[in-house]
Structure 1
Amino acid sequence: MIQVTKKTVSGILTFVLLITSFMIQPLTTHAESTLDLNAESAILVDAGTGKVLYAKNADIALPPASMTKMMTEYLVLEAINEGKIDWDTTTQISDYAYKISANELFSGVGLTQDKDYAVRDLYNAMAVFSDNATTIALAELIAGSETEFVKMMNDKAEELGLSEYKFVNSSGLDNDSLGDDMPKGTDPNASNLLSARSAAQLAYHLVNDFPEALEISSQTEVEFEDYKIENLNWMLPHEATFLQSFHYEGVDGLKTGNTDLAGYTFTGTAERDGTRLITVVMKTGSKEERFRETAKLLDYGFNNFASEELFPAGHQLEDKGTLPVAKGKEKEVSVSISEGIAIPIQSEEAELYSLEYNIDEEKLNDNGEIVAPIEKGEKLGTATLVYEGEATDHGYIFDQESVVVDVVSDEAVEKANWFMLTLGAIGDFFGNVFTTAVDWIKGLF
């Protein structure tokens, strides 16, 4: 008869839990092929490196709706950073901004004319509640008119390297909603356009250049004119019971959007264990769906990728740790990469990455040797990170296909003096003569 003790039961339970954890774990780690998103366009990006972890129709330009305001936010924060305005600078509401604020279709915070509003309050209403009129007021404050501000928006988009964009107003409303007040020189029937990739590029610059933007976008509510306005980002930790189901740990931004033409859009960002991800979903079917699809992207990113240093600074390739030197006191020079390479990768794929050297041809003579003198730390070429796995490599959000770092010399090599160079030349001469003579004699037989 088998005696069952508490210790035996405990051991069995531990074993069952262990096996269960292995059975359940694969269900929470989704391969890209199973990530079926209900969005016309989407992208997932590592905010530290710009590495794209997932993309779906990411280069199609679509109306971003109020995600447009991320560019307005960037230009406001830039103006503050440059000392052109500050958070306490005040402005009054123009007829145009007041008209938008009074329009019930745009459900704004409600503004009053002949009253001073501080930049901080206007920015809060724009970033947290997605208010259109306060956005216009900020644009007019910075550029004098929304027409001039739109020019700034497009110029900044080019400067930041956005891939697909067209800004026609500061708020993200369709131009036909603005009537005669639409920015001059823009098409009455036009809308702002961004691709998921360019929205992610803009978010990348916003959170990295101005981290304070997240301090504001992470607020679940703010006070405006003695009443509280709720953040439209439901993935933040709201107190309302209904919204709690959408809360995602680590989310602290960034911008929602919705128009009839754009559908429901959202640029989100979350940080966990030092890793920040940026997501964009465009043209989803509802408020709820844009947050559910964003959660899918974040789950995929956090569950499947981890940042790993593949090659530390000073790493040398086994067969290319040195390069031959001509006209130097040394016959070779030690070389390595100037900085470490760390990117988010899928588990157990570190061995699928390698480096390829590309030595600067202008540094080489006809025999493929580096010509002395060589300074310590001198750039001799570049090393490109190469992925040899089977998973789709989506590259980076900017114009680069991979990580490229400098290959540098680890030591200085002085140029040999004229006497040693002369001896070397004589040695080479007689060596060549001897080789020619041997070859001639061999030819006789």
Structure 2
Amino acid sequence: MPTYRHTLAQLCAAVAAALPVLLAAPAAVAAPQVPPPSTAVGGERLGRPGVQVNPLAGAPALPTDLTGQSWIVSDAASGEVLAAYNPHLRLPPASTLKILFADTVLPKFDRNTVHRVADEEIQNIGPGSSLVGIKENLDYRVEDLWRGVFLSSGNDAVHVLSFMNGGIRRTVNEMQDRAEALQAWDTKVISPDGYDMDGQVSSAYDLSLFARAGLRNPDFRMYCATRDAMFPGAVDKSTGRRGSFGIANTDRLLGKYPGLIGVKNGTTTNAGSTFVGAAQRNGRTLLVTVMHPASYQRVYDETAELLDWGFAAAGKVQPVGRLVDEPAADGTQPTDQASGTAGAPAPPPHTAAAPRPAAAPDGDAGLGPVGWGAAAVGAAVAAGAAVLVRRRTSRRRRAWGHFEC
């Protein structure tokens, strides 16, 4: 009968034998972040790694200085994807997740509704969060709260609207349901404001879906295009009058890039920068999403470069995929108002959205017996690495704090 010592020795030998294989193929560990072609929503090519573009004669070349880990250029009306780079790569979305929050909650409340903020509604907001400056026991109109969300990226405004909607947990669940209704399978919602949370991810493709859906709402379009506004302040004790203060949109392209109509930026210390921008030119509306470039300013520079390319390339490239349309309640395709036009065509059969994978994004579905063994060894190695990452991240947060906008 084998002893415990023998069994342990055999296990150690198995781990030692498997480690060279795992270490020799690091790409296999990162691969699950990009869905395989058979499950890529929007078309097979959008599931492939690397740049996807299909130029025709006279098409301009793509910018050569792009550093984003993921990006996508699409037509808001037709949904055609003109070019993309790892569009289904799952990454922390930062405050661009507020696009999904707005698309989910904005239709529920009249803009003139007045709400008195309770103290509990602005508690437990993540340290370092961007805030618009809401105070407890004061009245705010819903439209003021939404300006706080879109212009100041205020997590306090998100929390108040979430409480109005039934609470944080309910709002998170509804956002996840909304993402799934839009077929945004790369997105996992944990916080309604996009604050860094373990496991919270989205993709350039999904963020473009959210923006396209949000732009169908005239109020959404109005808020995301607002450059500055006055926000209600505190009550002056000497006069009894309530003051106000100015807030400005943190979107650095708004008012600078010709034709830009929004949508939302997001930056955190740990997640880096992400931006979703929509612009109109000559009757065409393009959407560009850039995630995690080399620096904060690069997210705006690269979005502008890709918008320039997209307008120049329109009609000179074959689409490499499409943003899938949200099925209407009766099963028909919806009227698309994202660009002020109607009649977005139904997706062709070869680019229709694939069913949602049965396994979680990081699951081990489809592994054979050899795969199970490698996965078990890999899990043991990954667990140790995760501890180191958590410790390093914790030290970094203690040293540098947390910043979000």
Q: Give the TM-score, by structure 2 length.
A: 0.61
Matched residue type, 1:236: L
How does 1:100-249 map onto structure 2 within 5 Å?
Answer: 105-142=128-165, 144-175=166-197, 190-208=198-216, 210-225=217-232, 226-237=244-255, 247-249=256-258
Q: Report the counterpart of residue 92 of structure 1 in structure 2.
A: 116
Distance 1:96 1:194 in 2: 29
Unaligned runs of 5+ in 1: 1-27, 80-84, 176-189, 238-246, 306-344, 347-390, 405-445
The 1:151–1:107 alpha-carbon spacing in structure 2 relative to 1, beyond 3 Å, is closer
Q: Report the counterpart of residue 418 of structure 1 in structure 2.
A: none
The structure carrying a bigger strand percent of its residues is 1
How does 1:276-291 map onto structure 2 within 5 Å?
Answer: 276-291=285-300
Matched residue type, 1:93: V
Deviation at 1:252, TM superposition (A): 1.2
Q: Report the counterpart of residue 79 of structure 2 in structure 1.
A: 50
How does 1:284-363 map onto structure 2 within 5 Å?
Answer: 284-305=293-314, 345-346=315-316
Counterpart secondary structure, 2:123: helix
Contact 2:90 2:202 (C-alpha < 8 Å) held by counterparts: yes
Deviation at 1:288, TM superposition (A): 1.4
Deviation at 1:104, TM superposition (A): 7.0
The 1:276–1:195 alpha-carbon spacing in structure 2 relative to 1, beyond 3 Å, is same
Counterpart secondary structure, 2:215: helix
Distance 1:161 1:145 in 2: 24
Number of corresponding residues: 263
The 1:97–1:301 alpha-carbon spacing in structure 2 relative to 1, beyond 3 Å, is same
The 1:284–1:100 alpha-carbon spacing in structure 2 relative to 1, beyond 3 Å, is farther
The 1:191–1:138 alpha-carbon spacing in structure 2 relative to 1, beyond 3 Å, is farther
Matched residue type, 1:248: Y
Counterpart secondary structure, 1:120: helix
Deviation readout 1:124-179 (Å, 9 max, x if unpaired) = 1101110001011111101x11011111111111112213110011100023xxxx
Deviation at 1:397, TM superposition (A): 2.0
Contact 2:122 2:159 (C-alpha < 8 Å) held by counterparts: no
Distance 1:46 1:260 in 2: 31
Distance 1:96 1:290 in 2: 35
Distance 1:96 1:299 in 2: 46
Distance 1:392 1:36 in 2: 23
Matched residue type, 1:219: T
Deviation readout 1:193-233 (Å, 9 max, x if unpaired) = 1110011111111112x133121111111110211111011
Q: Report the counterpart of residue 70 of structure 1 in structure 2.
A: 99
Over the aligned positions, Cα root-mean-square deviation in angstroms equals 2.4
Matched residue type, 1:168: I
Matched residue type, 1:99: Q
Deviation at 1:35, TM superposition (A): 4.1
The 1:107–1:393 alpha-carbon spacing in structure 2 relative to 1, beyond 3 Å, is closer
Contact 2:159 2:168 (C-alpha < 8 Å) held by counterparts: yes
Counterpart secondary structure, 2:274: strand
Deviation at 1:271, TM superposition (A): 0.5
Counterpart secondary structure, 2:320: coil
Give the number of the structure with larger relative contact order, counting CA–CA contacts within 8 Å between residues 6 or more apart. 2
Distance 1:402 1:223 in 2: 43
Deviation at 1:398, TM superposition (A): 2.0
Distance 1:138 1:284 in 2: 31
